[in-house]
């Protein structure tokens, strides 16, 4: 046996030994089950602690039977937070019995291994490049150099500190893109490809880039590193898988689902019957905003301190009971590389079929919980009758109403409006607020509340509006979105004070409106423009950041693109305009794929004038065809503020 392999065996044995031979690892007896690792029968009842039912007697547990559309990887279903076994497999789904331990203290025993490199040498399966975690020596060298430039020397750190420093840094150096093609991908034995039956569906979602160009932004770790961009949770997990492996940290990918499908009211009622108030409340608050949503989560596991530890984005030691992660999650699959998952053949095809999928689940999610219950083990030391209820908002008293497009909107309240000009977009604020709680404090009250409001004015027809798309919490401020549909918005007259009336579909629950709240449609689109901010600014020429106009003191890269603002407005006015206007632009040339880029707020002011600044990565600039003239087109989806672009405002890479 090699010294490296011996180190792995000894590290694993130390962490996962079973000294009393009851079938349970000592680590799990201490942190998961609450049993005595020195006694095979902790309560002396004649049954070993490792018995499927006996192991629950010293802990609070949640028991579920769930049907899951693949993939399900049987060999890793039992971990620091759950025990699971396969009950049956059918062509449509796998049925699992899962016992979850929400109060496992495994994360509290998060250790570090200063000799982790010796351990990792024997774990090549989890450190070598894969089809998607495709790091190479050039990427590793660039990664190490950038880390050292930021004050992090990978050679000087233990494994825990290296992961805790590197993961957030890797995420921060990239921009997020909301594209999602990872579930279309499939490994054919030699390369990643689009599943043949999903090609047409993927083309319908085309963003003006080829599949290969898209995958360099969200499927391949090296491409994401070079382009400084990443996508969904799955894309981020692939990216971290490649970056951490490049540094020698053993890493893999974990696929999880919520404890129930939030779009199924029958399953949500199962949650409401759980007896532990904190567990029940945490799950309900987390899942309420996810009704009718496709909900699953992919993240990483890293081998740190001699154990596989969950890494959720930058959070090392992620548990399963978390209001910010579906409330309570179950682990159904683990992959060395995303190419091993082949989700396209199962979940991808199922999502394309939608409600016509042969599994019969009927909702947007590829899973369904058949039964759900919780148990207070006889020796767990928790009296369910003495547990306090989780603090909860029971009513939503509207104390303020305004326009979403108004200039004074909290910038943290943000969403994409597909019909900004056609529909009416309204925000209301409620007076109830629980300090220290996030938006999930409103979940149950919002669920119970009516959603149909009215705007009334004497002598005029009522204008209907309804609550949609949920709500936000930022600090001590909240905002709930109400929508006036395009067919109703023209009926709201400008210059008239309309009074907001409370919901008609559930008048005794949830929302209540304080008397006298009014809303005035000041312009065609709702609010008036901000005072002293122009409705448009004109961009009359474009210059690359390495131009002689911008000496090195500005710190601009050669890929930065600057757009001169005609008239050189005062910088405070210009900065305010950029905060309000749509900052997305397209670089377009005939026969070339368009490139979408985003301007920052503010810009650059020099002796040569005022410039809006578009941040391109080196890879984005390199993707532009040399010698081709690109036109610059603003998205301009905000109806009150628009960029005008002169005919000569073009750029040649």
pLDDT tens-digit series, residues 519-556: 999 999 999 999 999 999 999 999 998 888 776 656 67
β-pairing, 297-304 vs 251-258, is antiparallel
Q: Does 252 score more than 80 pLDDT? A: yes
Q: Does 218 score more than 90 pLDDT? A: yes
Strand partners, 614: 561, 599
Which residue, among 65, 21, 124, has the nearest Cα to 260 in the 3D structure?
65
Answer whether 225's CB lies under 8 Å from 243's CB. yes
pLDDT at 348: 86
Query: Quick one: three-class SS letters along 179-215?
Result: CCCHHHEEECCCCEEECHHHHHHHHHCCCCCCHHHHH
- Per-residue model confidence as pLDDT tens digits over 314-347: 999 999 999 889 999 999 999 999 999 999 999 8
Alpha-carbon gap, residue 399 to 125, rounded angstroms: 58
pLDDT at 437: 77
- From the number of C-beta atoms within 10 Å of its C-beta (0-12, 13-18, 19+), residue 207 rates as middle
In percent, the amount of the chain with pLDDT more than 70 equals 96
Secondary structure element (H or E) that encloses residue 3, with its range: helix 3-15
For the chain, report the end-to-end CA distance as a whole number of angstroms: 57
Q: What is the spatial order of strands in the sheet that 642-645 belongs to? A: 642-645, 536-544, 561-565, 609-614, 595-606, 584-588, 630-634, 650-651
Q: Does 244 score more than 60 pLDDT? A: yes
- From the number of C-beta atoms within 10 Å of its C-beta (0-12, 13-18, 19+), residue 475 rates as exposed
For the chain, what is the mean pLDDT?
Answer: 90
Q: Does 206 score more than 60 pLDDT? A: no
Least reliable range by pLDDT among 55-59, 329-333, 555-559, 619-623: 555-559
Which residue, among 281, 372, 384, has the nearest Cα to 323 in the 3D structure?
281
- From the number of C-beta atoms within 10 Å of its C-beta (0-12, 13-18, 19+), residue 214 rates as buried
Q: Does 561 score more than 80 pLDDT? A: yes
pLDDT at 316: 96
Q: Does 596 score more than 90 pLDDT? A: no
Q: Which residues contact 204 (CB under 8 A, 6 or more apart)?
A: none
3-state secondary structure at position 271: helix
**Claim: this prediction has a pTM higher than 0.85:** no
Answer whether 640's CB lies under 8 Å from 580's CB. yes
Q: What are phi and psi of 597, to 5 degrees?
A: -135, 160
Q: How many CB atoms lie within 10 A of CB 300?
A: 26
3-state secondary structure at position 304: strand
pLDDT at 557: 72
The tokens describing 583, both together, are 């900052």
149 or 61: which leads in pLDDT: 61
Q: Does 508 score more than 70 pLDDT? A: yes
pLDDT at 3: 43
Q: Does 1 score more than 60 pLDDT? A: no
8 — pLDDT class (breaks 50, 70, 90):
very low
Answer whether 489's CB lies under 8 Å from 425's CB. no
Say which residue the tokens 């999650």 belong to: 329
pLDDT at 9: 37
Average pLDDT of 102-117? 95
- Per-residue model confidence as pLDDT tens digits over 456-473: 999 999 999 999 988 998
Which residue, among 356, 426, 430, has the nearest Cα to 393 in the 3D structure?
430
- From the number of C-beta atoms within 10 Å of its C-beta (0-12, 13-18, 19+), residue 629 rates as exposed
Q: What is the spatial order of strands in the sheet that 367-376 belongs to? A: 82-89, 94-100, 60-68, 367-376
- From the number of C-beta atoms within 10 Å of its C-beta (0-12, 13-18, 19+), residue 49 rates as buried
Strand partners, 478: 473
Average pLDDT of 241-261? 97
Q: Which domains does the chain have, with CATH numbers?
A: 1-41 (no CATH), 106-376 (3.10.620.30), 395-520 (2.60.40), 536-651 (2.60.40)
pLDDT at 179: 75
């Amino acid at each position: 046996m090699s010294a490296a392999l011996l180190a792995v065996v000894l590290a694993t044995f130390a962490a996962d030994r079973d000294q009393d031979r009851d079938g349970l690892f000592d680590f799990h007896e201490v942190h998961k089950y609450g049993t005595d690792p020195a006694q095979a029968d902790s309560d002396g009842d004649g049954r070993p602690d490792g018995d499927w039912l006996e192991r629950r007697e010293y802990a609070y547990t949640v028991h579920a039977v769930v049907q899951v559309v693949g993939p399900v990887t049987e060999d890793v279903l039992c971990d620091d937070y759950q025990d699971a076994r396969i009950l049956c497999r059918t062509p449509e789904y796998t049925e699992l019995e899962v016992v979850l331990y929400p109060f496992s203290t495994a994360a509290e025993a998060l250790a570090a291994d200063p000799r982790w490199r010796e351990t990792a040498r024997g774990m090549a399966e989890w450190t070598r490049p894969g089809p998607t975690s495709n790091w190479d020596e050039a990427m590793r060298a660039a990664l190490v150099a950038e880390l050292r430039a930021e004050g992090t020397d990978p050679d000087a750190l233990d494994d825990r500190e290296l992961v805790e420093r590197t993961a957030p840094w890797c995420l921060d150096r990239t921009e997020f893109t909301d594209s999602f093609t990872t579930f279309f991908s499939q490994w054919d034995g030699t390369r990643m490809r689009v599943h043949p039956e999903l090609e047409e569906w993927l083309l319908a979602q085309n963003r003006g880039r080829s599949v290969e160009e898209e995958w360099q932004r969200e499927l391949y770790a090296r491409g994401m590193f070079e382009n400084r961009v990443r996508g969904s949770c799955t894309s981020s997990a692939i990216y971290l898988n490649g970056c951490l492996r490049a540094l020698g940290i053993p890493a893999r990918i974990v696929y999880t689902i919520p404890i129930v499908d939030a779009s199924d009211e029958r399953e949500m009622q199962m949650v409401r019957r759980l007896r532990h108030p904190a567990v029940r409340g945490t799950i309900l608050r987390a899942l309420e905003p996810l009704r009718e949503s496709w909900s699953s989560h992919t993240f990483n596991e890293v081998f740190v301190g001699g154990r596989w530890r969950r890494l959720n984005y930058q959070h090392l030691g992620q548990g399963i009971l978390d209001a910010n992660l579906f409330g309570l999650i179950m682990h159904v699959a683990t992959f060395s590389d995303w190419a091993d998952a082949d989700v396209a053949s199962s979940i991808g095809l199922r999502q394309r079929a939608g409600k016509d999928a042969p599994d019969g689940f009927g909702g947007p999610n590829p899973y369904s919980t058949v039964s759900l219950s919780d148990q207070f083990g006889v020796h767990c030391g928790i009296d369910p009758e003495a547990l306090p209820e989780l603090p909860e908002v029971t009513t939503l008293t509207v104390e303020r109403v305004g326009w979403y497009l108004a200039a004074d909107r909290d910038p943290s309240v943000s969403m994409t409006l597909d019909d900004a000009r056609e529909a009416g977009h309204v925000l209301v604020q409620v007076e109830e607020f629980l300090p220290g709680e996030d938006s999930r404090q409103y979940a149950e009250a919002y669920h119970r509340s009516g959603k149909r409001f009215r705007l009334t004015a004497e002598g005029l027809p009522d204008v209907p509006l309804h609550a949609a798309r949920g709500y936000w919490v930022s600090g001590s401020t909240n905002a709930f979105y109400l929508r006036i549909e395009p067919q109703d918005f023209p009926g709201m007259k400008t210059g008239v004070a309309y009074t907001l009336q409370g919901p008609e579909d559930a008048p005794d629950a949830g929302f209540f409106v304080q008397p006298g709240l009014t809303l005035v449609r000041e312009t065609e689109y709702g609010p008036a423009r901000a005072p002293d901010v122009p409705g448009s600014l004109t961009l009359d020429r474009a210059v690359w950041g390495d131009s002689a106009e911008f000496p090195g003191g500005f710190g601009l890269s050669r890929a930065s693109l600057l757009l001169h603002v005609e008239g050189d407005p005062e910088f405070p006015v210009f900065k305010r305009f950029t905060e309000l206007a749509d900052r997305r632009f397209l670089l377009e040339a005939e026969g070339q794929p368009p490139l979408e880029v985003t301007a920052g707020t503010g810009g650059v002011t020099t002796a040569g004038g005022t410039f809006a600044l578009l941040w391109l990565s080196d890879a984005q600039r390199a993707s532009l065809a040399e010698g081709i003239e690109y036109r610059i087109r603003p998205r301009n989806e905000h109806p009150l503020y628009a960029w005008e672009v002169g005919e000569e405002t073009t750029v040649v890479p």
